[in-house]
Amino acid sequence: MKLLRAILVRLATMSVTLIGAAVVVFFVIRVVPGNPIAMMLPPGASEDDIARLTAHYGLDKTLFEQFGIWLSGVFRGDFGTSISLRQPVMPLVLGRLPATLELAIFALVIAVVIGGVLALTGVRHRETRTETAIDVANGIGLSIPDFLWALILIVLFGVLMPVFHISGRISPSLDLPFVTQFYVFESFARLRFDLWWDLLKHMFMPALALAIPLAAIISQLLKQSLKETMHLDYVTLSRTKGYSENHVILSEALPNAMLPTLTLIGVQFTFLIGGTVIIERLFSYEGLGNMAIDAVINRDLPLIQGIVIVFALLFTIINLVVDMTYALLNPRLRHA
Amino acid sequence: MLDGRGTVRRPLGARLWLSGCWLGIMALLALFAPLISPHDPLAQDLFAGRLPPFWVRGSDPAFLLGTDSLGRDVLTRLIHGARIAFAVALIAGLATAFVGSVLGLLAGYMRGWVDVLISRLVEIWMAFPPVLFAILLIAVLGTGLTSIIIAIVVIDWTRFCRVVRAEAMNQSAMDYVSSAIVAGRPRRDILWREILPNVLPTIVVLLTLEMGIAVIVEAILSFVNLSISTDAPTWGGMIAEGRTSIHQAWWVLAFPLGVLFLTVLSFSQFGEGLKDRFDPVLR
């Protein structure tokens, strides 16, 4: 019962946050100088044409009227029409979202694998040079943001040792039989491993750049909690029972040490998604973030609003899921 | 980190010294840029375009680190770029620290509706992807150094606000604050004279981290061509230029990237080093 109430309270604050975000974005971008309508018409367009098109997009009304119209549309799932692409915003955004989600999830998987392996290695070889080396690597991984990692990877593996693709989502020469925008999942489901491999080869560099800082955070925190757990009595007990060190770490210590890391991963995942914006730009990856930057450059107000709201919605949903998972996994909260 | 308490042995104070040295050198280069740099950062020489650095065949000893596609000296532009980077780091860092800390202190000490309002605002801010927010703000404010600084403050104040708010709440619960209240000190006095000095070490550590972030934000904005001007010698602008000619002239990208890497690393390691040394709270 308490859990249900907590969820309801969370949903209420979530909607306040979302509406707040909508208000901030709506009014911030209306201050943008430059008439978006004048930009989309050919240079010789008459004043009359501009006025007509301005009215068509509802930009001649007062700000508050515009906001009311937009918000009531949003509740009906209608985000208006993109000015630069001349299509409804909703399908445009939904068309790009899967590419970004696939990239983010792939990056998350890489981060968990690297971070987990480093943490386990560090604990297995604690108080040795190996652990110091891992500590130093963690420190560097944490300090340098994804943007710089991306550039470093481009120089190293895109130019000096060209093993990976550094541009685009898939090789343009391949024909694409896809019906959904989830290319990676769909190509796998259809057993088209040639396409699947090509997609992964394109995604690997941007995903790795996004993953490195998160991997360092995971490695650092997980190693810390593992080391604390290793001192607990039940771990000592299983060691005296004669289990091997590997067994003790993996089967006894890890399940208990994982919880703080899991919560952290949830929070950090939203930061990772935020990072996709510039990373997609760097790698010319056709995702939501790349579209967002174009939208800002083109002063495409409806599209900017739509994309920002979708990001905000994504962030709040992830936070909610993290909190709920935490409540479910943590017996002390479950029975509270 | 969620829970940083524990017994991690730190690899001594070496990193404080190393990072401090690098930042010191960069600051000196930035200060004396016009005296030190061998060329004019804007001078173009199309006949000397894309000269490689000195150890590669075909280089010109006058251009130690080579030239970019317009024949501008990479070393000179790096040195002048340090000026812009450090100006942004210092001004934006301090301004962000000021705004975020004041709001955080107020929220953490006053509690009540002030706290509700500020915390809600922080939550709304956290719902935006920061890079997108920055680009949006620059589109609104126009390009230029002032816009970049304003954008960084507007986006990153939450970073200070959240930590300082939590810290102010911790401090408020301590005995010295209770005794100050009992002694009849005015609330404002308690906040600025008692709590602030105890939160200050935390703020200083966050500030060094923020300076590194500010340098990165400037580079990202230069990269999407929204920073100062395409001509101005910024590290981000050099990187953006280098990215386009990466297959013909790797050095145009590699040198600014290396300098940016070391500078950002130094800011954060300097902050971490200070934290280990002086701040029992963050540790």
The secondary structure of residue B195, as a DSSP letter, is I
Residue A13: closest CA among chain B residues belongs to which residue? B120
What CATH code is assigned to A98-300? 1.10.3720.10
CB distance B72 to B43 below 8 Å: yes
Q: What is the pTM of this model?
A: 0.86
Asked if B237 reaches chain A (Cβ–Cβ under 8 Å), the answer is no
DSSP conformation letters of A252-275: IIHHHHHHHHHHHHHHHHHHHHHH
Whole-number pLDDT of residue B96: 96
pLDDT at residue B55 greater than cutoff 90 = no
Whole-number pLDDT of residue B226: 66
| A156: chain B residues, CB-CB within 8 Å | none
Q: Which of A278, A301, A313 to mutate to test the interface with B (most CBs of B within 10 A)?
A: A278
Please report, for chain A, the start and end positions of each structural domain, with discontinuous segments joined by +.
98-300
The answer to whether the CB atoms of B120 and A18 lie below 8 A apart is: no
| A317: chain B residues, CB-CB within 8 Å | none
The answer to whether the CB atoms of B8 and A273 lie below 8 A apart is: no
Torsion angle in degrees (nearest 10) through CA of B21, B25, B27, B32: 160
Asked if B261 reaches chain A (Cβ–Cβ under 8 Å), the answer is yes
Length of chain A (residues): 336
Q: What is the average pLDDT value for chain A, to the nearest integer?
A: 84
Asked if B42 reaches chain A (Cβ–Cβ under 8 Å), the answer is no
Instruction: Classify burial at A50, counting beta carbons within 10 Å of its beta carbon; exposed 0-12, middle 13-18, buried 19 or more.
Output: middle
Q: Which of B15, B12, B35 is nearest to B23 (CA)?
A: B15
Q: Which of A336, A30, A280 is nearest to A167 (CA)?
A: A280
How many Å apart are CA B83 and CA B86, to the nearest integer?
5
Of the pLDDT bands very low, low, confident and very high (cuts 50, 70, 90), residue B280 is: low
| Residues A125-160 pLDDT 10s | 888 899 999 999 998 998 899 999 999 998 888 777
Encoded amino acid at B80, one letter: H
Q: Is the ipTM of this complex over 0.95?
A: no
For tokens 């300098």, the residue is B259
Mean pLDDT of A56-81: 79
| Residues A270-300 pLDDT 10s | 899 999 999 998 888 889 999 998 888 888 8
The answer to whether the CB atoms of B129 and A289 lie below 8 A apart is: yes
Please report, for chain B, the start and end positions of each structural domain, with discontinuous segments joined by +.
26-32+68-278
Asked if B18 reaches chain A (Cβ–Cβ under 8 Å), the answer is no
Whole-number pLDDT of residue A276: 93
Angle at B211 (CA atoms; ends B133, A155), nearest 5 degrees: 75
Mean pLDDT of A186-209: 85
Whole-number pLDDT of residue B264: 92
CATH topology of domain B26-32+68-278: MetI-like fold (1.10.3720)
pLDDT at residue B229 greater than cutoff 70 = no
Mean pLDDT of A41-56: 74
Mean pLDDT of A9-14: 84
Tell how far CA A106 is from the center of its chain: 10
Of the pLDDT bands very low, low, confident and very high (cuts 50, 70, 90), residue A39 is: low
Asked if B120 reaches chain A (Cβ–Cβ under 8 Å), the answer is yes
